[in-house]
Chains A and B, each alone.
Chain A
Amino acid sequence: MLIFEQSRPGRAATAQSPLHSQDCADIPTSQLRTDAPSLPEVSELQAVRHYTRLSQKNFSIDTNFYPLGSCTMKYNPRACNTLAMLPGFLARHPLGPASAGQGFMACLYELQEMLKEVTGMQAVSLTPAAGAQGEFAGVAMIRAYHVARNDTARTEILVPDAAHGTNPATATMCGYTVHEIPTDKQGDVDLDALKAAVGPHTAGIMLTNPSTLGIFERRIKDIAKIVHDAGGLLYYDGANLNAILGKVRPGDMGFDVIHMNLHKTFSTPHGGGGPGAGPVGVSARLEPFLPVPMVGIDGDEYVWITEKEKPQSIGRLSAFMGNAGVLLRAYIYARMLGHEGMHRVAEYATLNANYLMAKLRDAGFDVAFPNRRATHEFIVTLKKQEKELGTSAMDFAKRLLDFGYHAPTTYFPMLVPECLLIEPSETEAKEDLDGFVAAMVRILDEARSTPEVLKEAPHTQPVRRLDDVRAARELDLTWKAPAA
């Protein structure tokens, strides 16, 4: 029940307290509203119960395994939250002088430096407020670079067909046309198709490595050479950075620009729409175009770098420093990990993914690329089960909810039919991975013996199977008061 439906005229939080009319005599009448706002009228207890119940319906990493591929749903250490909420950080006013925010600025400066080190890029700007905005900043810089060189015939961005949907969307938002590059049977970018596609019209290529197929793009050096020789730039989508943290650096692979999802790789809370943080890193030739503000150092003092110092900047993407609280959490996380910890993240993320993949394969599931080692995620295809038993990937995903697991990413990437993209992350224990395997095995047994149990799932959730076709065709997101 919506809180609006609980509303009764005249009811208020102070139900049993004597009401005193508010004296607004000192506010000019022109500034006072004449009608009451349309808000639910409920008691304090009703409001508390309503929102407590809603919070209990939340699915979160704090309660259950969340193997959502390409989203890196890992545990968020409590220390990051605690330290980011120190009064000095919370009470800092963004319009205060730099001299009064040196501690905050020191953290951001060091975060810039650490992200440079771990990605192998020349410079980093922290301001983009999410991954999509980081992507936008990255491609806007590619455009600014070509424009600054009067190289305006470059109108096309190349995107592999396995890419995240945000990549072609970003390129389009930045005014480019998108040319899709196919993937070969081994899951790598088709080099012949790439060679045929590049030319004086190529502004760049957007790549995720490891790709969304959960495998490392082995010929990245060749790809970099083909695109660079044609005068294009290489964009790195950092969504899958968790797999390679501290092991191999996008800068060393030849990338010119990268966005990082701090809310994935650097373990800040996400999954409910943010807030996120999507810092961008660049090679030397794109450095003049970075979004501002950034933090610099002058002698022993931290200073803001703004449009004044960076006249070719693509500009500002958010108020002040973007989601500063998220940046602080990521900074603390990175400091806790240190150099050694970064390596361990990549090692355990890939170990967990390969363990889970091997267990599921042994249990009778088909892996999309059986000859390739998984990175931090891998794909199971249920094509055989769909054909022989009539149970789809969506049926498996919905049934997993009944066993207390968030469903993996379904039907993405589109290249693999009836797929589940599974990413356990490094923070799950072996026993939890085994529990997930046991649930998948049981669902596979049910698919053979009682497929209707899958088809009708979920059985234990607040709502049953949703009609996603009707939801999309008759989109209706607003509540309207019933006619009196």
Chain B
Amino acid sequence: MSNIPADLKYTKSHEWLKLAADGTALVGITEHAQDQLGDMVYVEVPDAGRSVKANEACAVVESVKAASDVYAPVAGDVIEGNAGLADAPESVNQDPYGSGWLLKLKVADTAAVDALMDAAAYAAFVAAEEH
């Protein structure tokens, strides 16, 4: 079983979200997701200022196997895209919950975060999908 930190929230499309006390959140893809996709060769992150709806495609991760959209777990305004990934897309593979973060959001409604899966629910979801 891959690493699923207990303090994050998760989506069925394998994004994680980490909510800070100030209502901002970091978003990335899970260790399971990066493992399925394989070695990253290119990552496209959104520009600051863009408003995204929940489940809207807001970033692209391209691996040797496929290019995949990354969806916003909740609605919000993009504060920052992780510019460091342009030169180091492998961060998404090596440190998906750390330096491999994709974007920082100002979350529109923090209540929406509660509706996302917690670590236990996501672990069960991945196990069921694997089956």
Contact = CB atoms under 8 A, between A and B. Distances in A.
B5 to A, nearest CB: 23
A411 interface: yes
A194 B94 CA distance: 37
Interface string B2-21: 00000000000000000000
A412 B39 CA distance: 16
A468 B64 contact: yes
B65 A473 contact: no
A467 to B, nearest CB: 10
B42 interface: yes
Contact of A411 (B41, B66, B68): B66
B2 to A, nearest CB: 13
A417 interface: yes
Contacts of B64: 468-469, 472
Interface in B22-63: 36, 38-39, 41-42, 62
B89 interface: yes
Contacts of B68: 414
A468 B62 CA distance: 13
Nearest to B39: A469
Contacts of A469: 39, 41, 64
By secondary structure, the B interface counts as loop
A472 B66 contact: no
A414 B41 contact: no
Nearest to A177: B57
Nearest to B68: A414
Nearest to A474: B41
A417 B131 CA distance: 11
Contacts of B39: 468-469
Interface string A401-433: 000000000011010010000000000000000
Contacts of B62: 472
A417 B36 contact: yes
B72 to A, nearest CB: 15
Nearest to B66: A414
Nearest to B93: A469
Interface residues of A, number: 8
Contacts of A472: 41-42, 62, 64
A411 B37 CA distance: 10
Contact of B41 (A412, A417, A473): A473
Contacts of B89: 473
Interface string A456-484: 00000000000011001100000000000
A411 B68 CA distance: 13
A411 B65 contact: yes
Nearest to B37: A414
Nearest to B64: A468
A469 B41 CA distance: 6
Contacts of B41: 469, 472-473
Contacts of A473: 41-42, 89
Contacts of B42: 472-473
A417 B37 CA distance: 10
Contacts of B36: 417
B42 to A, nearest CB: 7
Contacts of A417: 36
A468 B63 CA distance: 10
A468 B36 CA distance: 16
Nearest to A413: B66
Contacts of A411: 38, 65-66
Interface in A429-471: 468-469
Interface centre among B36, B62, B65, B68 (most CB of A within 10 A): B65
A200 to B, nearest CB: 19
Nearest to A468: B64
Nearest to A387: B130
B129 to A, nearest CB: 10
A469 B39 CA distance: 7
A478 B41 CA distance: 20
A472 B89 CA distance: 11
A412 B65 CA distance: 8
B100 to A, nearest CB: 15
Contacts of B66: 411-412, 414
8 nearest A-B residue pairs (beta carbon): A472-B41, A411-B65, A469-B39, A468-B64, A473-B41, A414-B66, A469-B64, A469-B41
17 contacts: A411-B38, A412-B66, A414-B65, A414-B66, A414-B68, A417-B36, A468-B39, A468-B64, A469-B39, A469-B41, A469-B64, A472-B41, A472-B42, A472-B62, A473-B41, A473-B42, A473-B89
Given A417-B36, A469-B39, A472-B62, 17 more contacts: A411-B38, A411-B65, A411-B66, A412-B66, A414-B65, A414-B66, A414-B68, A468-B39, A468-B64, A469-B41, A469-B64, A472-B41, A472-B42, A472-B64, A473-B41, A473-B42, A473-B89
